[in-house]
């Protein structure tokens, strides 16, 4: 519904955005949904025809044509008579002719030979790709990707990285005149792609490039285990990044910065987030995703993050008891602890629940004057994750072991587990460690900063 009437809108493939925009739209000129449902089919068919024509002009095989090629390949394999085989071959030839388009010139190799027809190179390549799929000599890169995504158990954001990696590879193949097929991606081709990856979308950082290379490697490994390809051509590919200078690494907040943030007039939904992060070292997304049932028995139960395989129990700091009591009062166990930060409403969104909270904190942090921008870096050296680094620093200065702190904040550790219900020695020690971290005084008492144990590497 738009401006009182129904309209059709259809997403446009990214490669056509410059020419067609991001979506095709047309009003159906009715406020009746029943009438709109009758009229929409013709418009959708028109839109798809436009998109298919433009894709063919670019030399991109449309998804519907790939589906036809695969169906014809199966039809040819299963043909039980010469008549059935000829019928399939006739349809294949007709589709290939349509894709190749009209002859644009003639070429003579010598005076006595008959002229050979010349076709538009892109459309000729398109017909060749189509025939390759039919013969089983070319498998579209995207063909098995949807089934792969359905089988992996990762965050929606990581699946988004998978989709972007395939998109970058497909667009690169188009630009280089390489068929976008699994058979075309050799080790040599993969190395060439790695060399060009930085410039494909706004000078990607080495860490981002490696993220995409890793997702491609995971997909290819999936194909190897199903004997769809012979080898993982992405295995071991890695972009070397420049070592960051010490003064360009993201860091913990100072005590004065924490005090500025806590005294800056933040609303309760932000103040509570900051205090919890500062007094247990949890990541922002784990905090905003808490349920009432996750704060029972004096313990936080945080969902798995990063490489964690199971939920993690962390003692609740004594200074947080009032916040927890207020936020759980009168609520059911399945209610959100932070309903003010809901999940994205857009269907299919890959954004984490913490997206808006993160943006709101960044804006608030800047109003408090807590910032450290460095030329050439996109992010400030201080951000919400700096509360996590601050907690780790304070716990280290209080004399607690690295393994215990790792168990509390969810870093990789050497076997230590905090037993929630047994309240064993590890949990008792963790409770002491957590309570040893104190927020800085909020009055004007001068704070002497001690950087002797500030973590030198970026914490996950």
pLDDT in the model for residue 306: 67
Q: Which residues contact 92 (CB under 8 A, 6 or more apart)?
A: 72, 76, 131, 134
pLDDT in the model for residue 414: 52
Spell out the long-range contacts of 439-445 with Cβ–Cβ below 8 A and sequence spacing 24 or more: 439/258, 439/262, 439/275, 439/278, 439/279, 439/319, 440/255, 440/256, 440/258, 440/259, 440/262, 441/259, 442/259, 442/262, 442/263
- Are 314 and 408 spatial neighbours (Cβ–Cβ below 8 Å)? yes
Residue 436: Cβ within 10 Å count: 14
- Are 316 and 295 spatial neighbours (Cβ–Cβ below 8 Å)? yes
Q: What is the pTM of this model?
A: 0.62
pLDDT in the model for residue 457: 44
pLDDT in the model for residue 318: 96
List C-alpha distances in Å: 378 to 200, 372, 375, 395.
18, 11, 8, 29
Extract the tokens encoding 285: 């997304």
What three-state secondary structure class fits 119? strand
Extract the tokens encoding 252: 């913990």
Dist. CA 336–CA 269, nearest whole Å: 13
pLDDT in the model for residue 442: 87
The number of C-alpha atoms within 13 Å of 194 and in the hemisphere containing its C-beta is: 24
For the chain, 460 residues long, give each residue's pLDDT as a single digit of tens: 888 999 999 888 766 777 888 899 999 999 999 999 999 999 998 988 888 778 766 666 777 788 888 888 888 888 888 888 888 888 888 888 888 888 888 887 766 667 888 888 777 877 888 888 888 778 888 888 989 999 998 877 888 899 999 989 988 887 887 888 899 999 999 999 999 988 876 678 888 899 999 999 999 999 999 999 999 999 999 998 766 565 678 999 999 999 999 999 999 999 999 999 999 999 999 999 999 999 988 999 998 876 666 788 899 999 999 999 999 999 999 999 999 999 887 766 777 889 999 999 999 999 999 999 988 777 899 999 999 999 999 999 999 998 899 989 887 655 555 655 556 678 889 999 999 999 999 887 887 776 654 544 444 4
pLDDT in the model for residue 219: 96
Dist. CA 392–CA 414, nearest whole Å: 17
pLDDT in the model for residue 388: 95
Beta pairing, strands 23-27 & 7-11: antiparallel
Q: Domains of the chain (ranges plus CATH)?
A: 7-58 (no CATH), 63-106+118-135 (no CATH), 145-225 (no CATH), 247-436 (1.10.443.10)
């Amino acid at each position: 519904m738009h401006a009182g009437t129904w309209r059709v809108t259809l997403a446009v493939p990214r490669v056509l955005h410059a020419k067609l925009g991001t979506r095709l739209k047309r009003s159906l000129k009715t406020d009746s949904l029943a009438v709109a449902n009758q009229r929409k089919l013709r418009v959708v068919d028109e839109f798809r025809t436009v998109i298919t024509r433009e894709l063919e002009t670019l030399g991109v095989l449309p998804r519907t044509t790939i589906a036809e090629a695969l169906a014809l390949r199966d039809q040819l394999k299963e043909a039980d008579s010469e008549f059935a085989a000829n019928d399939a071959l006739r349809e294949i030839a007709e589709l290939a002719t349509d894709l190749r388009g009209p002859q644009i010139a003639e070429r003579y190799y010598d005076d006595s030979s008959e002229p050979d027809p010349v076709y538009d190179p892109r459309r000729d390549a398109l017909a060749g790709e189509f025939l390759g799929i039919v013969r089983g000599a070319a498998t579209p890169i995207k063909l098995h990707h949807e089934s792969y995504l359905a089988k992996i158990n990762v965050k929606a954001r990581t699946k988004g990285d998978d989709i972007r990696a395939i998109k970058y590879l497909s667009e690169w193949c188009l630009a280089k005149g390489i068929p976008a097929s699994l058979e075309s991606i050799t080790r040599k081709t993969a190395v060439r792609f790695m060399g060009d990856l930085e410039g494909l979308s706004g000078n990607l950082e080495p860490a981002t490039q490696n993220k995409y290379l890793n997702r491609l490697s995971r997909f290819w490994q999936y194909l190897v285990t199903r004997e769809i390809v012979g080898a993982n051509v992405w295995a071991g590919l890695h972009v070397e990044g420049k070592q960051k200078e010490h003064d360009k690494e993201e860091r913990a907040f100072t005590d004065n910065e924490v005090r500025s943030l806590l005294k800056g007039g933040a609303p309760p939904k932000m103040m509570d987030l900051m205090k919890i992060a500062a007094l247990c070292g949890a990541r922002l997304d784990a905090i905003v995703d808490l349920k009432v049932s996750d704060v029972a028995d004096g313990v936080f139960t945080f969902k798995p993050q990063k490489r964690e395989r199971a939920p993690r129990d962390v003692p609740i700091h004594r200074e947080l008891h009032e916040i927890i009591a207020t936020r759980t009062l009168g609520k059911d166990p399945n209610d959100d602890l932070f309903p003010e930060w809901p999940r994205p409403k857009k269907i299919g969104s890959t954004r984490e629940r913490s997206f808006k909270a993160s943006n709101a904190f960044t804006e608030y942090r800047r109003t408090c004057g807590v910032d450290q921008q460095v030329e050439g870096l996109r992010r400030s050296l201080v951000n919400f994750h700096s509360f996590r680094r601050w907690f780790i620093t304070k716990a280290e200065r209080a004399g607690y072991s690295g393994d215990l702190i790792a168990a509390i904040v969810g870093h990789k550790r050497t076997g230590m587990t905090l037993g929630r219900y047994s309240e064993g020695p590890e949990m008792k020690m963790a409770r002491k460690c957590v309570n040893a971290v104190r927020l800085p005084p909020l009055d004007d008492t001068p704070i002497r900063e001690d950087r002797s144990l500030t973590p030198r590497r970026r914490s996950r």
